[in-house]
Amino acid sequence: MPYRPEHKAQTRARIVECARRLYNRRGFSDVSIDEVMAEAGLTRGGFYNHFKTKEELFAEAVTSYITCGPGERWEGIEFDAGATGRVFARQIVNAYLSRQHLDDVDSHCPMIALPSDAARAGPVMRQTYQRLLQGMVGMIETGLDRDDEASRGKALAIVALCVGGMVLARTVDDPVFAGEIREAARAAALEAGAFDDPVGDKAA
């Protein structure tokens, strides 16, 4: 009896999610196709029914990250997906630099989990990583003053603070020091965007 079309889509999604988690834990190069398929409860042969190469799987795993909002991904994060402008941008900064994001290794953003992998990768992987980065810059830019000619530069700086702050925070063992790094980056990012933050970061 042949599988229904939705079965193939569900299987593909499971492979992508397993790959994303494994890449976050160990990096792209140290995770084999066999390990991804085993994590998904499948055999290696089934991989090629869904993907041509491991790089194609990486690209989809990175892209899949943006389909789930912070409020769904991490408990305790207050995130209104319907918010706009400065409120939306502030939420992005607070969620990205939250303790929940740092603690949940499996759900780390690929930009903080896989920068070295992307830097050493081929065009397909680098372009996928770049699209994710450009998407975040665009979201932050929507919260800035559109009449400000420097808004693009500010958005880039804010994203650099968010990603760089988290990359550094995840490299240290001292949780207090990691928290200081996150908070310093968060405060600087909010100040750079002039995002009002009257209630502070409740998720920190």
Whether 37 is covered by a domain: the verdict is: yes
State the pLDDT confidence band at 68, using cuts at 50, 70 and 90. Answer: low
pLDDT at 73: 66
12 lies in the same domain as 76: no
Average pLDDT over residues 171-178: 95
Q: What does the pLDDT read at residue 124?
A: 85
Residue 49's CATH number:
1.10.10.60
Choosing from 29, 45, 66, the residue where a domain stops is 66
Q: Are both 76 and 153 inside the same structural domain?
A: yes
Whole-number mean pLDDT of the chain? 86
Residue 2 pLDDT exceeds 60: no
Q: What is the pLDDT of residue 67?
A: 66
Give me the residue label for tokens 């750079």: 192
Alpha helices, DSSP H, located in 104-142: 110-113, 115-120, 123-141
Q: Please report whether residue 201 resides in a domain.
A: no
Distance in angstroms (rounded) separating the CA atoms of residues 90 and 193: 9
- The residue from 49, 66, 83 where one domain ends is 66
The domain in which residue 19 lies consists of 5-66
Residues 95 and 171 in one domain: yes
| Residue 87 belongs to a domain | yes
The structure tokens listed for 131 are 């699209």
Domain-embedded: residue 101: yes
pLDDT of residue 4: 67
DSSP conformational letter for 46: G
Cα 34–Cα 127–Cα 23 angle in degrees, nearest 5: 30
Q: Are residues 86 and 160 in the same domain?
A: yes
Write out pLDDT tens, residues 75-129. Answer: 777 778 788 888 889 999 999 999 999 998 888 888 998 888 888 888 888 898 8
| Residue 98 included in any domain | yes
62/114 same-domain check: no
CB of 125 closer than 8 Å to CB of 59: yes
Number of domain units in the chain:
2
Contact by Cβ (8 Å): 180, 126: no
Q: Which of 40, 66, 92 is the last residue of a domain?
A: 66
In a domain, 203, yes or no: no
Percent pLDDT > 90 in the chain is 50
61 and 82 fall within a common domain: no
Q: Per the domain annotation, does 200 fall within a domain?
A: no
Cβ atoms 55, 125 nearer than 8 A: yes
Q: Residue 146: left if φ>0, alpha if ψ -120 to 50, beta else—which one?
A: alpha
Which pLDDT does position 199 carry in this prediction?
Answer: 45
